[in-house]
Amino acid sequence: MTSEVANKAAKWDDTFNKGDTATLGGFYAPDALVIPAGGAPVKGPEAIGNFFKDLRANGFSDHKIAVDNVIENGDTLIASGKWQLNGPGENGASKQYGGNWVNVVKRNGSDFQILLHTWN
């Protein structure tokens, strides 16, 4: 199961890095929540796509996800790992950001949809 989640995470990275934030919203369930570190929750695929669109517009790119753990409970998965992202730093220099992430994911047929996405 970890390899399936890692493949989906790689597709998420590719979609974000291409700037296709409308498609990125499609990774999320209709009632999904993104809870950014220190930020207000964002609900629903369209709002989530717009959230990531704003990140891209503010100079964030080169997102990379590493999947470390996947816990399966029926049609629900809890996946976690590390993330990194390049973005603006001081004096216009590029800075690398990173931390831990957790997703609660549900099976949707042979695919997955994210219910909850949070990171620090």
Give pLDDT, residue 1: 67
pLDDT along the chain (120 residues), means of 10: 88 96 95 96 97 96 96 95 94 92 91 95
**Whole-prediction pTM:** 0.92
Is 115:32 a contact under the CB 8 Å cutoff? Answer: yes
Give pLDDT, residue 72: 94
Give pLDDT, residue 92: 80
CATH class of 2-119: alpha beta
Give pLDDT, residue 85: 96
Give pLDDT, residue 109: 79
Q: Where are the domains of the chain?
A: 2-119
Give pLDDT, residue 2: 79
Q: How far apart are CA 113 and CA 31, in angstroms?
A: 10
